[in-house]
Structure 1
Amino acid sequence: MDFVLAKSFNEIYTAFYRKSYLYVKSYVQEEMVAEDIVSDSLIKLWEQLKQKPIDPVAPYLFSMLKNRALDHLKHQTIKHDVHGLMTEGLERELQIRISSLESSDPKEVFSNEIQQIVEKTLNSLPERTREIFILSRFGNKSHKEIAERYNISVKGVEYHIGQSVSVLRVALKDYLPLVGILSFLKL
């Protein structure tokens, strides 16, 4: 069929959707994202075909798909980089708070209650996330050592630690400001 003169979106969709979807998904690895990229690209192609003939259509479409997938992957890279920086900051903040808790007098500031909350919160985490956090924070293992142990990437280790930090932060939200103030007043 000559898609230069395609009369309906359905013709374009039927002819190109499946191959386009498989192509994009093989790179972005997310079904919904692939569907969005393909749908948007097919609509854009259809609108352009209504304005002027494009021949051949397939290379033009796959060029559009490639560029949209690249844009998505580049955006994901930036997002992961920013998330990594934010996670590092949260990790440092939590480490300071944990250090403050460890250095405070056990009879002060509800330490038994806080310890119970930390233990309960850590026990509520998925097993691998909990183990990675404990190895990092209490086992003094580097992210690289943990990644090798679990056969995951360093980014994967950072993800698990970030998840632990987020959950602990929520669980300890009522206690950590008090600990910070009392530690400051002791100085």
Structure 2
Amino acid sequence: MAQINFNSIYTAYYRKAFLFTLSYVHNDLVAEDIVSEAIIHLWELSKEREIPSVEAILITYIRSKSLNYLKHIQAQENVFQTLLDKGQRELEIRISTLEACDPKEILSEELRAKVHALLESMPEKTRIAFIHDRLDGKSHKEIAEELGISVKGVEYHISRAVKMLRDNLKDYAPFLFFFI
């Protein structure tokens, strides 16, 4: 049994095998690993038996390892694409849901009734300051002049109203930012 010298296998076949492998796997490090494994496999095989065709064994081994690598990459890409598709679908659902959202329907009649009842239960200056600020869009100075109080007084009444609404409507928290 004639064992093949490792250096002679390496010298004769490494460069061609590397370029062949690289043309499929498109990764230098992976190609180096596959070819090195193939040459070691061939050398160890030559210790056990006569090798009739070195090229055939190298090509077969490289083909098998390269296919395994490419199938692994394909599986990773499929998983990535599935996750990307799922994320895309979720994003499309969120966009269509938001586009279909009618702001008038967000504040249900029940919530409107609670807000109205809370506003009615507030002291007069607190209620008026809040309504003029949040609903009428008046400046704090304008509200102060109308109520005959200071701008700081207006700020106090508005923050008091906001606190009352926030405390009493905590179950409706996601919708409150539209109103408060």
Q: TM-score, normalised on structure 2?
A: 0.49
Greater RCO structure (CA 8 Å; 6+ sep): 1
Which one has a bigger Cα radius of gyration?
2
Q: TM-score, normalised on structure 1?
A: 0.48
